A and B are shown apart, each in its own frame.
Chain A
Amino acid sequence: VLNFRQRCRVGVVSFAALVSSCLPAFASNSEPYFSYMLNVLVEGDNGGGIAPVREPLREPRPRVIINQTPYSVVQADCYSTNGDIPSFYIGFDPNMYGITTCEGASSFNLASTLTTQMLGGSSANVVTGSATTISLSMKPSAPGPFLLTAAIGIVNYAQIFEAPPGSTVNFPFSTVGTGNGQVDVTASSDCDGCFVSAGNTGPSMQNLNMGTLTIGPSGQYTITAQLFGSAENPGNVAPVSSITLNFCPMTVTLFGNGTPTIRANALPPASTNLSTAATSCGYQGFNWQQSVTNSPCPDTVVPVATAALNANLCSMVLGISPGMAAGPQGGDAPQFNDPPPGGGYTYLTYADGSPYSPSPYYYPILAGTQENVPLPLLVNGNLVSPIINHGNAALAFVDTPAGPCLPTGPLSATTLAKCGGHAAPENSYMGFTTNFVGVNLSDGSPSPPLFSWTYVSNYNGTVGGIGVFSGFLPPDPGSGVGNVTITSINGVPVPPIIPPAQVRTTASGLAYSRVTKTFNGTVTITNTSGTTLTTPSAFQLVLNSLPAGVTLSNSMGTFNQCPYITIPALTSLIPGQSVTVAVQFSNPSDALIDFTPEFYAGSFQ
């Protein structure tokens, strides 16, 4: 015979026993699944405790009482977008309690007061679940000074996501709790060691860092989370228990691959904003970090803190002036922050002339947190005022790295003089690693990368009349040739893009089909370069920047958050040759459809 507290523990153990840590073989990208259970018990002659019942009592929703004895009442329910109980559920088995279908909702926010039939012990509870947070709050009230009333609650969350196999993902979470609570979070994929987890107990706010998860060959991973809370009144545990887990689902999309300028946009989940997302993640805001990983010599960029950056001065590394060296084409000099610490670059200052030195970030912290505030800068004396935080809705990144000493195209005598009389070696390029990061609340330090990509640029023109690494101005027209090429995203190699200047993309009109409810047409890509375009596997057409609400119905997958179409049975495109593919758009709002075509020579992993 168990006493009251022992029975509580037994009940809790049975709830927590089913925690999914394996990815089902048949899993696909899923909607979120939530479930909760609340139990209120009052100490009486017959005791309390939770027990599965053979004939569960199921009251009409939303008051979902699944089990009731004179001294105990249990409320539970589950939520999924289509109302089904998914195979990857965690926590209690709904069927054990007579729950055969879930509420058809992708979020919930439910307040309830549970009261036992005998003695009238009660608890006021609130449970919520959404794309950004799950939370549990219980406040038990005892019917008398000597009658212990306890509340126990669990909130579960599970969802399956897709990511390129081999890519890496970081998961920032934060928790806020009072009283007695516990959080457990896991992420897993289908490869050896592809499992990360984090947990937190007790009150206060904490950030949870699970570490980096590598995505297995299925291209899918599962996140599960479980909150557990308990409270007693009267008793020696705090009479109020609340625990909240905040997710940090930010989305980053890249633009400009194949052009001299690369851009990125980081978006919070729909119906929220950057500051709310930052709070959810446990950060004071978000920012970007960039490192120069490859810089051949010479180049024309000079740091302010030359003495501190001796290891990156072309003159010190290779005996060539001017410029900064990094990576294999820069004498194996170490990579350096862009802009470098200690004052940044000589060509780049704030508008008042003070050094632009946001290191270790690419932008000052305030530029990332203050919405719609221009960042006034002087690039070689040219005023530019980029806005980084757009309406608290998107965080922008832009760079036009320019290496006028790169021999991508002919160098004028004037340029050669600025390069110390000679060009950089043949086939040389600038290389970068860029991260989207959180700014930690405690000390302003950067979080582990939330999103990361690498790219190279062989653009040999100028920006504001000079060569730059941090390029906040557009390229100077006609000053050079070359472009940015993204080489990896979150650790996954990206096939080479065919620069837009080498192909012409045209499209037919879009006929609407009442049968398929889609707008149908074709897109034609023509090789306008003088050389044959080849691919080792297949060409891919990516439709970047589709309007909100417009989707490509015949997409073969997504790359960089954008749908793509694989062009079958074609591995080369001779000059002047065209290839045409069918496109089929879903466009419920009848918007004008537009996109930026990107043509890749190779398969996406």
Chain B
Amino acid sequence: MRFTWLLPLCAAFAMAGPITYDVTVNTSSISGITGSLDFNFNPGPLVTQSASLQILNFNSDGTLAEACPCGTGDVSGQLPATLTFDNGSGFNDYFDNFTFGSTITFSVSLYGPALSSPDGVSTSGSTFAFSMFSDTAGTMPVLTSDTADGYAFTIGVNLDGSTTVTNFSTETTIEAESGVGPPPSGSVPEPGTFLTVLIALVGLVRFRGRLPAGAR
């Protein structure tokens, strides 16, 4: 019994990622303004491990512009449906005109090798940024204290697979979903995940096999 702590440790390591954040933005102060939304997810300037990101469950009483495609780089999908980004090219961006209502909600799910199995040799992370603008050209940021760059919030994927959220918007709440969820729909679990679980389980069984009978 005294070694049972190994099991959740191995499982948590093996099943790291995806990491999902639920985002809620109170846009009532700019309700009725036709502006724009920007989502981008880009690698760093050195060696970057593969990572992906989805914008899920986008919901708002505002109105998305109909004119699209809005994606640049490795982006697929169209709001309000799911957007899928990866960090394979230098600029992966989704930009859409939007007439603000009173609220916007969506989820940001990050997954891929950089989160589930950091390789220890990559030297750059990846960063997701969300911005809102009061103009359709995307030059006048709103609901953010970051007037220099205009980000409402950013999520950095760190080299150890963890994430760092930086929120510049008092109207925005970002909450990590509790627990570790399954991979997003359509994604393929990393082979390394299975391998790690298998190794952990085999190791645990072999270890327990060596224990004296009284300790089992």
Residues of A within 8 A of B (CB): 504-516, 519-521, 523, 583, 585, 587, 590-595, 597
Contacts and interface: CB of A to CB of B under 8 A. Distances in A.
B179 to A, nearest CB: 25
A509 B155 CA distance: 9
A516 B125 contact: no
Contact of B156 (A509, A516, A595): A509
B91 A512 contact: yes
A513 B159 contact: no
With a 10 A CB-CB cut-off, give which of B45, B73, B127, B147 has the most chain A CB atoms.
B45
Contacts of B133: 514
Interface stretch (B35-43, B57-65, B76-84): B35-43
Interface residues of B, number: 38
A593 B129 CA distance: 17
Interface in B131-152: 131, 133, 138-139, 141, 147-151
Contacts of A506: 46, 123-125, 159
Contacts of B149: 511, 513, 515-516, 520
A513 to B, nearest CB: 4
Contact of B126 (A504, A509, A585, A587): A509
B139 to A, nearest CB: 6
With a 10 A CB-CB cut-off, give which of A516, A519, A583, A585 has the most chain B CB atoms.
A519
B150 A514 contact: yes
A597 B45 CA distance: 10
Nearest to B38: A514
Contact of B148 (A509, A515, A587): A515
Contacts of A590: 72-73, 89-91
Contacts of B138: 514
A427 B6 CA distance: 51
Given A509-B87, A512-B129, A515-B139, A595 B45 contact: yes
Contact of A511 (B124, B151, B159): B151
A509 B50 CA distance: 12
A516 B148 contact: yes
B169 interface: no
B123 A510 contact: no
B181 interface: no
A507 B141 contact: no
Nearest to A587: B90
Nearest to B43: A509
B125 A512 contact: no
29 contacts: A504-B123, A506-B125, A507-B44, A507-B45, A507-B123, A508-B156, A509-B44, A509-B124, A509-B125, A509-B126, A509-B128, A509-B156, A509-B157, A510-B42, A510-B90, A511-B40, A511-B42, A511-B127, A512-B93, A513-B148, A513-B150, A514-B95, A514-B150, A515-B147, A516-B149, A523-B45, A593-B45, A593-B90, A595-B46
Q: Is the interface of B mostly helix, strand, loop or mixed?
A: strand
A505 B46 contact: yes
A485 B120 CA distance: 29
A510 B91 CA distance: 9
Given A505-B123, A590-B72, A515 B43 contact: no
A355 B148 CA distance: 63
B167 interface: no
B193 interface: no
B140 to A, nearest CB: 8
A585 B45 contact: yes
Pick the 3 closest A-B CB pairs, nearest first. A509-B127, A511-B129, A590-B91
B154 interface: yes
Nearest to A552: B45
B46 to A, nearest CB: 5
A508 B46 CA distance: 9
Contacts of B159: 506
Contact of A592 (B90, B126, B150, B151): B90
B45 A510 contact: yes
B135 to A, nearest CB: 10
Given A511-B42, A591-B90, 18 more contacts: A507-B46, A509-B41, A509-B126, A511-B40, A512-B38, A512-B129, A513-B149, A513-B151, A514-B133, A515-B139, A516-B148, A523-B45, A587-B90, A590-B72, A590-B90, A592-B90, A593-B45, A597-B46
Contacts of B44: 507-510, 521
B24 interface: no
Contacts of B41: 509
Contacts of A583: 45
Nearest to B73: A590
Contacts of A519: 42, 90-91
A511 B148 contact: no
Contacts of A515: 139, 141, 147-150
Contacts of A523: 45
B26 interface: no
A598 B44 CA distance: 17
Contacts of B148: 513, 515-516
A509 to B, nearest CB: 3
B110 to A, nearest CB: 11
A520 B44 CA distance: 9
A507 B45 CA distance: 7
A144 to B, nearest CB: 65
A587 B166 CA distance: 24
A593 B44 CA distance: 7
B46 A594 contact: yes
Contact of B124 (A504, A507, A591): A507
B48 interface: yes
Interface in B88-132: 89-91, 93, 95, 123-129, 131
A523 B38 CA distance: 24
Contacts of A587: 90-91
Contacts of A594: 45-46
With a 10 A CB-CB cut-off, give which of B40, B46, B156 has the most chain A CB atoms.
B46
Contacts of B45: 507, 510, 521, 523, 583, 585, 593-595
With a 10 A CB-CB cut-off, give which of A504, A511, A519, A520 has the most chain B CB atoms.
A511
Contacts of B125: 506-509
A372 to B, nearest CB: 29
Nearest to A584: B149
A511 B40 CA distance: 7
Contacts of B157: 509
A520 B48 CA distance: 15
A512 B43 contact: no
A555 to B, nearest CB: 14
B73 to A, nearest CB: 7
Nearest to B88: A592
B124 A508 contact: yes
A513 B91 CA distance: 11
Contacts of B40: 511-512
Contacts of B93: 512
A126 B34 CA distance: 55
Nearest to B41: A509
Contacts of B90: 510, 519, 587, 590-593
With a 10 A CB-CB cut-off, give which of B43, B87, B89, B141 has the most chain A CB atoms.
B43
Contacts of A510: 42-45, 90, 127
A511 B48 CA distance: 14
A293 B131 CA distance: 57
